[in-house]
């Protein structure tokens, strides 16, 4: 059974016949409402925005805009430049390159299952997918194009006014409609056909190593009970393996840096010193394809990531309590924060993470560049 979202009211055309000699006017129809093709084990608590229902025409337009290089100042960069399908919509670089070889200061986040997220970017600066879709266009380190110029370029393009008309009932293009179209396409980027999903559907068995990795992933360790765990799902929650899901935006300080080297993170948005060093916990779907890792791309491999959590946590004033209290051994009095996984346990967790790779997702022609 596929989960079906409720239908939403859209633009309904007035159908009728108007006599004029022997001629008849064509019925006027609105855009075609569609539903997200999501499994029934994904959360059902996130509603589609009432002012931006999903339509076939909106998704088609959004896909074109996602790959449209005219939305960058010099016509060389699109959203798809930093979010490449074969890399699960990341780009493989520590920091992404924008127009004129400008470079950002954050790792490009993978894009999937975005409908179930509520805050966007590593520091949570966008509170809707529609808002998130617009910001890179104007960012001087990315596409560096004033949104008014983006609107003018699309308005002057022979193909776009009619596409906006089909999707939104008006050929008058606006920044608001650009954001709506992009976000409609991005909502369809659903990854739900990995080996892990097949296991959830009782279609396959995991190997013993993968099964151990799954159990460790979803277990918070408790040494007093001899309960061993990897502590991963405390931040990467549920079947989505995402920190920001079911309406809960997960931001954490995961001990990357000492007190004096902490980045602002979420504090840049909230102004609250308690949020210093906190960044969004990303979804881990297709994580084996999206290196390098962390908000600043400092780790090249999953092995490096596990080594960090296992023995290199930097204690600081805003370190997440979920990490501070997670260990497979009783405290030794040193004050060091370590997970104390064995080499075999780390390898098992990595084996499980590879079961999150969705080959169908990265090859789906519905998500590909329509200009190629």
Q: How far is CA 199 from CA 207, 350, 357, in A?
A: 11, 17, 13
79 is annotated as contributing to ligand binding:
yes
Do residues 295 and 122 lie in contact, with contact meaning Cβ atoms separated by under 8 Å? yes
Strand partners, 49: none
By residue count, the chain amounts to 372
15 is annotated as contributing to ligand binding:
no
Q: Which phi-psi region, left, alpha or beta, contains residue 181 (left: φ > 0; alpha: ψ -120 to 50)?
A: alpha
232 is annotated as contributing to ligand binding:
yes
Q: Measured on CA atoms in the order 359, 279, 230, 304, is the torsion positive or negative?
A: positive
Q: Measured on CA atoms in the order 331, 335, 336, 337, is the torsion positive or negative?
A: positive
Contacts of 364 (CB under 8 A, 6+ apart): 85
Do residues 171 and 164 lie in contact, with contact meaning Cβ atoms separated by under 8 Å? yes
DSSP 3-66: E-PPP-----PPP----BTTB-PPPP----B----EETTS-S-PPPPTTS--BHHHHHHHHHHH
Alpha-carbon distance of 240 to 117, in angstroms, equals 10
Per the annotation, where are the binding residues for heme c? 79, 82-83, 232, 235-236
Per the annotation, where are the binding residues? 79, 82-83, 232, 235-236
């Amino acid at each position: 059974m596929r989960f079906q979202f409720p239908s939403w009211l859209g633009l309904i055309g007035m159908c009728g016949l108007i006599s004029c000699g022997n001629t008849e006017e064509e019925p006027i129809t609105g855009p075609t409402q569609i539903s997200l093709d999501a499994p029934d084990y994904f959360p059902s608590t996130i509603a589609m925005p009432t002012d931006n229902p999903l339509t076939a025409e909106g998704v088609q337009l959004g896909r074109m805009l996602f790959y449209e290089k005219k939305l960058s100042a010099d016509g060389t960069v699109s959203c798809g430049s930093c979010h490449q399908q074969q890399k699960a919509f990341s780009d493989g670089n520590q920091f992404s390159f924008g127009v004129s070889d400008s470079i950002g200061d954050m790792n490009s986040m993978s894009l999937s299952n975005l409908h179930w997220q509520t805050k966007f970017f590593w520091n949570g600066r966008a509170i809707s997918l529609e808002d998130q879709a617009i910001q890179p266009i104007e960012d001087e380190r990315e596409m560096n194009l004033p949104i008014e110029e983006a609107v003018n370029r699309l308005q002057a393009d022979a193909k776009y006014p009619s596409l906006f008309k089909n999707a939104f009932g008006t050929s008058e293009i606006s920044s608001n409609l650009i954001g709506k179209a992009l976000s409609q396409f991005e909502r369809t980027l659903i990854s739900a056909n990995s080996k892990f999903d097949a296991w959830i559907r009782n279609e396959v068995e995991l190997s013993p190593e993968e099964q151990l990795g799954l159990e460790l992933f979803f277990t918070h360790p408790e040494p007093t009970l001899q309960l061993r765990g990897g502590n991963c799902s405390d931040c990467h929650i549920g079947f989505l393996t995402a920190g920001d899901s079911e309406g809960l935006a997960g931001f954490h300080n995961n001990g990357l840096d000492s007190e004096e080297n902490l980045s602002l993170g979420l504090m840049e948005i909230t102004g609250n010193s308690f949020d210093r060093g906190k960044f969004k916990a990303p979804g881990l779907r297709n994580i084996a394809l999206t290196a390098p890792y962390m908000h600043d791309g400092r780790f090249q491999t999953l092995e490096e990531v596990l080594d960090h959590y296992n023995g290199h946590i930097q204690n600081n004033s805003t370190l997440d309590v979920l990490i501070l209290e997670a260990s497979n051994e009783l405290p030794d009095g040193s004050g060091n924060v370590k997970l104390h996984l064995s080499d075999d346990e780390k390898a098992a967790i990595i084996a499980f993470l590879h079961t999150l790779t969705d080959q169908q997702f990265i090859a789906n022609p519905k998500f590909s560049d329509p200009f190629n």
